[in-house]
Structure 1
Amino acid sequence: MKLGIILGSNELDRVAYAGMHALIAASLDNEVVIFATMDGVKAFLKDPELKVSGETSKVIKEQGENVFEHFKKAKKSGKLKILACSYASKIHGLDKDKYSDLVDDIVGITSFSLEVEGSQIITVW
């Protein structure tokens, strides 16, 4: 099975959720494709911009949890692909050099849709 995750937020708790969901799905031998769009692209910069405004985000930050460890573990499995939205990259002035090594490519929504066609899709906003 393949799972598509659309991440449209850079709020710490939402990024953490996307990472945990990706890791669990990958550990169950599923292919996972994350499409980071709108503010979600900011989470995957070399110097990530993560918002901490909700209570859960504050607790995660206070505990010092590195939410990117979930993504790294899922990537090691070979089952996770992270794609940055070309439109969001354009409006935020981002190119491949500004993204962390976690990002595999910059693509449009059409490419992502074709990649996950017929798959389960969840959205994290």
Structure 2
Amino acid sequence: MKVGIILGSNELDRVAYAGMHALISTTLDNEVVIFATMDAVKAFLKEPDLKVESATSKTIKENKEDIFQHYVRAKKSGKLKILACSYASKIYGYDKDDYGSLVDDIVGITSFSMEVEGGQIISVW
């Protein structure tokens, strides 16, 4: 099964959740496509810009957890693709060189929708 995750926030706890969900899904032998849109594109920059406003985010930061380890492990399975939103990238003036190695491509919502057609889609805002 294909799983699509639309991530719209760069809040630390939400980015962590999307990574955990991706890892669990790939472990269950699902193909996962994450579409980072709006502020979420900031989380995948070479130097991630993560908000720490919620109590959970503050706890994660205090515990010095590496939330990107979930993404790295899922990517190693070969079953995770991370796409940055072309619209959000344009708004912020980002191009492929601004993103870290986790990002596979910059695409629009139509391309993401075609990638996960017939699959389950969840949104994390």
How does the TM-score come out when normalised to structure 1?
A: 1.00
Give how far 1:60 is off. Answer: 0.1
Cα deviations by residue, 1:18-38 (Å, 9 ceiling, x for unpaired): 000000000111000000000
For the aligned residue pairs, the C-alpha RMSD in angstroms reads 0.3
The percent of aligned pairs where both chains have the same amino acid is: 78
Question: Are 1:14 and 2:14 an aligned pair?
Answer: yes
The one-letter code of the counterpart of 1:111 is S
Residue 83 (structure 2) aligns with: 83
Give the distance between the partners of 2:42 and 2:110, measured in 1 at CA: 21
Structure 1 runs (4+) deviating above 6 angstroms are: none
Give the distance between the partners of 1:92 and 1:17, measured in 2 at CA: 24
**Unaligned runs of at least 5 residues, structure 1:** none
Give how far 1:73 is off. Answer: 0.1
Cα deviations by residue, 1:57-83 (Å, 9 ceiling, x for unpaired): 000000000100000000000000000
Residue 31 (structure 1) aligns with: 31
**Unaligned runs of at least 5 residues, structure 2:** none
Residue 123 (structure 2) aligns with: 123
Give the distance between the partners of 2:69 and 2:121, measured in 1 at CA: 22
Give how far 1:93 is off. Answer: 0.5
How does the TM-score come out when normalised to structure 2?
A: 1.00
